[in-house]
Amino acid sequence: MIPGPSGTGKSTYVAELLQSELPDDFQALGLSFSAQTSANQTQDYIDDKMTKRRTRVYGPEIGRRYCTFIDDLNMPKKEEYGAQPPIEIIRQFCDYHGWYERKSKEKPFNKIEDMVLLAAMGPPGGGRSVISPRLQRHFNILTFTDL
Protein backbone atom coordinates (compact mmCIF):
# COMPACT_ATOMS: atom_id res chain seq x y z
CA MET A 1 0.00 0.00 0.00
CA ILE A 2 1.36 3.39 -0.98
CA PRO A 3 -0.29 6.31 0.83
CA GLY A 4 0.77 9.88 0.19
CA PRO A 5 -0.41 13.34 -0.87
CA SER A 6 -1.49 14.13 -4.43
CA GLY A 7 1.31 14.95 -6.81
CA THR A 8 4.03 12.87 -5.16
CA GLY A 9 4.31 10.35 -8.01
CA LYS A 10 2.66 7.32 -6.44
CA SER A 11 0.82 6.20 -9.58
CA THR A 12 3.75 7.10 -11.83
CA TYR A 13 6.14 5.05 -9.72
CA VAL A 14 3.82 2.05 -9.72
CA ALA A 15 3.17 2.33 -13.48
CA GLU A 16 6.92 2.23 -14.11
CA LEU A 17 7.27 -0.75 -11.78
CA LEU A 18 4.45 -2.66 -13.49
CA GLN A 19 5.67 -1.90 -17.02
CA SER A 20 9.36 -2.63 -16.73
CA GLU A 21 10.40 -4.03 -13.36
CA LEU A 22 8.16 -7.06 -12.85
CA PRO A 23 9.51 -10.56 -13.49
CA ASP A 24 8.28 -12.25 -16.68
CA ASP A 25 5.80 -14.48 -14.87
CA PHE A 26 3.81 -11.47 -13.58
CA GLN A 27 1.06 -9.76 -15.53
CA ALA A 28 -0.18 -6.34 -14.46
CA LEU A 29 -3.85 -5.51 -13.95
CA GLY A 30 -4.98 -2.02 -13.05
CA LEU A 31 -8.16 -0.51 -11.77
CA SER A 32 -8.94 2.88 -10.34
CA PHE A 33 -11.55 3.50 -7.68
CA SER A 34 -13.83 6.52 -7.68
CA ALA A 35 -16.70 7.63 -5.46
CA GLN A 36 -19.11 5.72 -7.73
CA THR A 37 -17.18 2.43 -7.85
CA SER A 38 -19.27 -0.50 -6.65
CA ALA A 39 -18.30 -3.88 -5.23
CA ASN A 40 -19.99 -5.55 -8.20
CA GLN A 41 -17.88 -3.57 -10.69
CA THR A 42 -14.71 -4.47 -8.80
CA GLN A 43 -15.57 -8.15 -8.61
CA ASP A 44 -16.67 -8.32 -12.27
CA TYR A 45 -13.50 -6.62 -13.51
CA ILE A 46 -11.23 -9.09 -11.72
CA ASP A 47 -13.42 -12.12 -12.51
CA ASP A 48 -13.35 -11.26 -16.23
CA LYS A 49 -9.54 -11.53 -16.21
CA MET A 50 -9.47 -14.95 -14.53
CA THR A 51 -9.38 -18.36 -16.16
CA LYS A 52 -10.81 -21.51 -14.63
CA ARG A 53 -8.16 -23.83 -13.20
CA ARG A 54 -10.23 -26.41 -11.37
CA THR A 55 -13.73 -26.58 -9.96
CA ARG A 56 -14.33 -23.28 -8.12
CA VAL A 57 -10.64 -22.28 -8.45
CA TYR A 58 -9.68 -19.38 -10.72
CA GLY A 59 -6.53 -17.46 -11.53
CA PRO A 60 -4.35 -16.25 -14.38
CA GLU A 61 -3.18 -18.79 -16.93
CA ILE A 62 -0.93 -21.48 -15.44
CA GLY A 63 2.60 -20.27 -14.81
CA ARG A 64 1.54 -16.61 -14.53
CA ARG A 65 0.62 -14.38 -11.60
CA TYR A 66 -1.41 -11.19 -11.52
CA CYS A 67 -0.16 -8.04 -9.84
CA THR A 68 -3.34 -6.01 -9.42
CA PHE A 69 -2.86 -2.28 -8.84
CA ILE A 70 -5.75 -0.38 -7.26
CA ASP A 71 -5.36 3.38 -7.58
CA ASP A 72 -7.25 5.67 -5.16
CA LEU A 73 -8.13 2.80 -2.86
CA ASN A 74 -9.86 5.05 -0.32
CA MET A 75 -12.11 6.91 -2.82
CA PRO A 76 -15.31 4.78 -2.75
CA LYS A 77 -18.22 6.50 -1.07
CA LYS A 78 -19.35 5.16 2.28
CA GLU A 79 -22.79 3.59 2.47
CA GLU A 80 -25.34 4.45 5.17
CA TYR A 81 -23.72 2.10 7.72
CA GLY A 82 -20.19 3.40 7.10
CA ALA A 83 -18.84 0.51 5.01
CA GLN A 84 -17.22 0.92 1.60
CA PRO A 85 -18.38 -2.12 -0.45
CA PRO A 86 -15.53 -2.10 -3.04
CA ILE A 87 -13.00 -2.09 -0.21
CA GLU A 88 -14.88 -4.86 1.58
CA ILE A 89 -14.76 -7.14 -1.48
CA ILE A 90 -10.98 -6.56 -1.64
CA ARG A 91 -10.75 -7.34 2.09
CA GLN A 92 -12.73 -10.53 1.54
CA PHE A 93 -10.20 -11.57 -1.10
CA CYS A 94 -7.32 -10.80 1.29
CA ASP A 95 -8.92 -12.70 4.19
CA TYR A 96 -10.31 -15.72 2.33
CA HIS A 97 -8.49 -15.77 -1.06
CA GLY A 98 -11.70 -15.46 -3.01
CA TRP A 99 -15.33 -14.41 -2.99
CA TYR A 100 -18.82 -15.67 -3.65
CA GLU A 101 -20.12 -15.94 -7.19
CA ARG A 102 -23.03 -13.51 -7.44
CA LYS A 103 -24.37 -14.73 -10.79
CA SER A 104 -25.25 -18.24 -9.64
CA LYS A 105 -28.32 -19.20 -7.64
CA GLU A 106 -26.25 -21.34 -5.25
CA LYS A 107 -23.71 -18.52 -4.60
CA PRO A 108 -20.69 -20.86 -4.34
CA PHE A 109 -17.35 -19.61 -3.05
CA ASN A 110 -14.72 -19.18 -5.77
CA LYS A 111 -11.08 -19.33 -4.73
CA ILE A 112 -8.63 -17.02 -6.53
CA GLU A 113 -5.00 -18.08 -6.82
CA ASP A 114 -1.79 -16.32 -7.84
CA MET A 115 -2.91 -12.72 -7.43
CA VAL A 116 -1.15 -10.07 -5.35
CA LEU A 117 -2.46 -6.59 -4.62
CA LEU A 118 -0.76 -3.23 -4.80
CA ALA A 119 -2.68 -0.08 -3.85
CA ALA A 120 -2.15 3.67 -3.78
CA MET A 121 -4.23 6.26 -1.97
CA GLY A 122 -4.23 9.86 -0.87
CA PRO A 123 -4.71 11.18 2.65
CA PRO A 124 -8.25 11.18 4.08
CA GLY A 125 -10.34 14.25 3.31
CA GLY A 126 -11.86 15.75 0.18
CA GLY A 127 -13.91 12.66 -0.67
CA ARG A 128 -11.31 10.18 0.56
CA SER A 129 -11.99 8.07 3.63
CA VAL A 130 -9.90 6.32 6.24
CA ILE A 131 -9.15 2.71 5.32
CA SER A 132 -10.29 0.05 7.75
CA PRO A 133 -7.55 -1.58 9.84
CA ARG A 134 -9.10 -4.90 8.80
CA LEU A 135 -7.81 -4.22 5.26
CA GLN A 136 -4.64 -2.33 6.19
CA ARG A 137 -3.25 -5.31 8.08
CA HIS A 138 -2.81 -7.20 4.80
CA PHE A 139 -0.42 -4.65 3.31
CA ASN A 140 3.13 -3.49 3.80
CA ILE A 141 3.17 0.31 3.69
CA LEU A 142 5.55 2.45 1.64
CA THR A 143 4.79 6.12 2.35
CA PHE A 144 5.36 8.96 -0.12
CA THR A 145 5.83 12.42 1.37
CA ASP A 146 5.62 15.90 -0.16
CA LEU A 147 8.66 16.79 -2.23
Q: Do the domain assignments include residue 82?
A: yes
Q: Are 79 and 129 in contact (CB under 8 A)?
A: no
Question: What are the tens digits of pLDDT across the range 23-61?
Answer: 999 999 999 999 999 999 999 999 999 999 999 999 999
Number of domains in the chain: 1
Buried b (16+ CB within 10 A) or exposed e, 13-52: ebeeebeeeeeeeebebebebeeebebebbbeebeeebee
Q: What pTM did the predictor assign? A: 0.91
What is the domain extent for residue 61?
A: 2-136
CATH number at residue 79: 3.40.50.300
Phi, psi of 13 (to 5 degrees): -60, -45
Look at residue 47 and tell me if it is in a domain: yes
pLDDT digits (tens, 9 = 90+) for 92-124: 999 999 999 998 889 999 999 999 999 999 999
State the chain's mean pLDDT as an integer: 93
Query: Would you state the pLDDT for residue 144?
Result: 87
In a domain, 145, yes or no: no
